[in-house]
Structure 1
Amino acid sequence: MTAAIWAGIDAGKTHHHCVAVDESGRRLLSRRIANDEPELLELTTDVMALGDKVTWGIDLADGGAALVIGILLNHVQLVHYISGRAIHRASESYRGEGKTDAKDAAIIADQTRIRRDLHPLHPNDETVTDLKTLTSRRMNLVADRTHTVNRLRAQLTGIFPGLERALDLTNKGPLTLLTGYQTPAAIRRLGARRLETWLRNRKVLRANQLAETTVEAAERQHTSLPGEKLAAQMVHTLAKEVSALNEQIAKVDKLIEARFRGHRHFEVITSMPGLGIILGAEFLAATGGDMSIFGTADRLVGFGGIAPVPRGSGMISGNLRRPQRYNRRLQRVLYTSALFSIRRSNKSRRFYDRKQAEGKHHTQAVLALARRRVNVLWALLRDGRCYELAPLTTLSA
């Protein structure tokens, strides 16, 4: 008779804790190991020696758990992912109030033993792994840029509010301007013509319009505010920081496109209206590109968090809530791409308009469209064919 073993790993940055149980839930092994290859290899060997078939569960799918997952997959082990939220909820049904790594590992092992709905982990190809790294880096850079732009706006408003209102501080031209001139007096002394020449020498597009707008704002403010000199220096520094972040994001975008174009699903994913290079790469990074992991389009929808779920067993009609367990990055991709598709596809626009005519507000209509698009994308990836985009006509046609 085949002896089945279930092993749960509570993963951490420096150390993991592993608990192995048999089919009755009896604990066979409990060990704390360093996140180091020799100890992880020894653990794998010891657990595999306990039975003929081992099923592993782990509460992280990347980061500090990447090494142990890689080792297990290289040993052809079946590894399931169970979220930290699911472990927290399950812990309420186990004895004991304390929370320890050993207890969490035991819960992971037992949940892996009794549940049948956990996602198995599979080795990603090199392209998907690279895209995960690059898209995560891009998200961090974009967040840093947003934070820095907000600080720049606040600083500029403190000395020159008229110019802050007139400029789009995410564009190259206004940022270049602020690296040289920040105060009304300095801009008035320079004048529109010399400012235009200064901007043209730095390859700013539509330098004449920017120069005119800037000088007009300077002519409306003749008051010099306290602390203006130091604040102007801060504006200069922040403008350079935003420009540097823009350059970094542009470089990462090129790397993402180069890696994404090499993937077998590139043509299929980007053929969908609204899914361009960046959103398509993020979709691939969030899902791994292997739709068989999810089994059905409905499970992919649930993973993306765009399907409402009932509030309870006594729910009334329309008494729904948003799902609490989903991939936020995938949800953003599905929602944003649906929003963009309304501008590019007549079919998407007509579907969106119909949902609004049925009484749904904007967000509900976009989510309904995103749900429908998942079915289409699922079929395209399954069949390996591209979406055929009808020629754009007037939306009333």
Structure 2
Amino acid sequence: METVIGPHLDLPAMLALLAKYPTPKALRDAGMHRVEALLRKQAPRAWKRWAAAIFTALDGQTVVVSGTAAAGLVLPQLAASLAQTRSSRDEVLVRTEELVGAHPLFGLLTSLPAVGVRTAARILTEVVGKDFESAGHLALYAGLTPVTWRSGTSIRGDHSSRRGNKVLKRALFLSAFAALKDPLSRAYYDKKRAEHKKHNQALIALARRRCNVLYATLRDRAYFHAPEAATAARIDLSRGA
């Protein structure tokens, strides 16, 4: 049963199932029809597949694990508690989105490719209100400035700095990954890959370049507008790398 239900414990449907039918015996006593009815309400796309997998696992179960009855008393409470935690988290996310969306800089930030509510929230909390002299200083603060490692007479290539604001670095890194759907960002990433950069190194380089755009957007209070196709073709993507 663990192999069927376990991977989906973070989903409301499985929490509802465990809250009502916490043991194999409870599931068998309920029967396929009731289990399907419960799952159908919570998971309209996957209920049939999950119900079939659950009862296939039940049919193949030949050993009753010691302590199952006791677990049946505890699991409903744990499932209900986790469901409540998820609900509270969702409420916080909704409220956060409302607050971020109402911020005067929200429109500016989300005009950048692949900057959504969550990335904008990170930028607002980690960047806005701090004075950076240049895009380079912002990149240094975010830990996106490459570092050359030296040991005696040995010199290794550039690596991403382990310093800086890790929360902001992660947000900008994930945003850079999402930005690969943007033609200009993809072209810059492909250019770095052609220079024999590994995937993560190329993404870090892209995130660093996007710091230039972010800095200019916040400094000038100007919405980002992607260059026209004809102009974009002439842009030197290596500038500011």
TM range (shorter): 0.7 to 0.9
Deviations 1:248-296 (A, max 9, x none): 1111111111211222210111122222111210111011x246x0110
> Which amino acid is 2:27 matched to?
I
Whether contact under 8 Å (1:185, 1:222) holds in the other structure is: no
1:217 aligns with 2:57: yes
User: 1:379 — aligned with what?
Assistant: 216
Determine the structure 1 residue equivalent to 2:234.
Answer: none
Q: Quote the residue 1:69 is aligned against.
A: none
* Higher relative helix content: 2
**Which residue is 1:94 aligned to?**
none
> TM-score, structure 2 length as denominator?
0.81
CA distance in 2, matches of 1:174, 1:268: 40
Equivalent residue for 2:140, pick from 302, 306, 322 = 302
Q: Distance in 1 between matches of 2:114 and 2:123?
A: 12
The answer to whether the 8 Å contact 1:301/1:307 transfers is yes
Cα distance, 1:230–1:279 mapped onto 2, change above 3 Å: farther
Pick the aligned partner of 1:349 from 186, 193, 213. 186
User: In 1, are the aligned partners of 2:145 and 2:161 still within 8 Å (CA)?
Assistant: yes
Distance change in 2, residues 1:297/1:377 (3 Å): same
Partners of 2:69 and 2:80 in 1: CA distance = 17
Structure label with greater radius of gyration = 1
Code of the aligned partner of 1:303: Y
After superposition, where does 1:116-127 map in structure 2 within 5 Å?
A: none
Query: 8 Å contact 2:160–2:204 — kept in the other structure?
Result: no
Go from structure 1 to structure 2 and tell me whether the alpha carbon gap of 1:216 and 1:273 turns closer, same or farther (over 3 Å shift): farther
| 1:193 and 1:211 in contact (8 A); partners too | no
Q: Distance in 1 between matches of 2:34 and 2:151?
A: 72
1:36-79: CA deviations, max 9, x gaps?
xxxxxxxxxxxxxxxxxxxxxxxxxxxxxxxxxxxxxxxxxxxx
CA–CA separation in structure 2 for the residues paired with 1:252 and 1:365: 34
Q: Can you give the 5+ residue segments of structure 2 that lack an aligned partner in the other structure?
A: 229-241
Aligned 1:141-180 pairs, distance under 5 A: 160-164=1-5, 167-180=7-20
Cα distance, 1:372 vs. partner? Answer: 1.0
Displacement of 1:203 in angstroms is: 4.5
Amino acid of the structure 1 residue aligned with 2:96: I
Deviation at 1:348, TM superposition (A): 2.3
- 2:238 is matched with none
Residue 199 of structure 1 and its aligned partner are, at CA, apart by 3.4
Q: Distance in 1 between matches of 2:156 and 2:120?
A: 33
The aligned counterpart of 1:269 is 109
Q: How does 1:1-397 map to 2 (within 5 A)?
A: 160-164=1-5, 167-200=7-40, 203-206=42-45, 207-287=47-127, 289-290=128-129, 293-311=131-149, 318-342=156-180, 344-388=181-225
Q: Given the superposition, is the C-alpha separation of residues 203 and 168 from structure 1 closer, same or farther in structure 2, using an over 3 Å criterion?
A: closer
Contact 2:150 2:156 in 1 (8 A): no
Deviation of the 1:318 alpha carbon: 4.0
SS state at 2:8 partner: coil
User: What amino acid is aligned across from residue 257 of structure 1 in structure 2?
Assistant: E
Task: Report how many aligned residue pairs link the two structures.
Answer: 227
Higher strand share: 1
| One-letter amino acid matched to 2:188 | F
| Paired AA for residue 376 in structure 1 | V
Q: Following the alignment from structure 2 to structure 1, what is the Cα–Cα distance between the partners of residues 63 and 72?
A: 14
- Equivalent residue letter for 2:189: Y
Q: Which amino acid aligns with 1:233?
A: L
Q: How big is the shift at 1:381?
A: 2.0
Distance in 2, Cα, partners of 1:253 & 1:351: 33
8 Å Cα contact 1:172/1:243 also seen in 2 = yes
Q: How far apart are 1:300 and its partner, in Å? A: 0.5
Residue 271 of structure 1 aligns to a residue in which SS?
Answer: coil
Counterpart code for 1:371: R
Question: How many angstroms does 1:297 deviate by?
Answer: 0.5
Residues 323, 264 of structure 1: alpha-carbon distance in 2 compared, 3 angstrom cutoff:
same
Q: Which runs of 5+ in 1 are unaligned?
A: 1-159, 392-397
Higher relative contact order (CA 8 A, sep 6+): 2
Identity %: 31
- CA-atom RMSD, angstroms? 2.6
Bigger mean CA offset, 182-191 vs 222-231: 182-191
What is the SS of the residue equivalent to 1:222? coil
Q: 1:274 to 1:222 in 2, by over 3 A?
A: farther
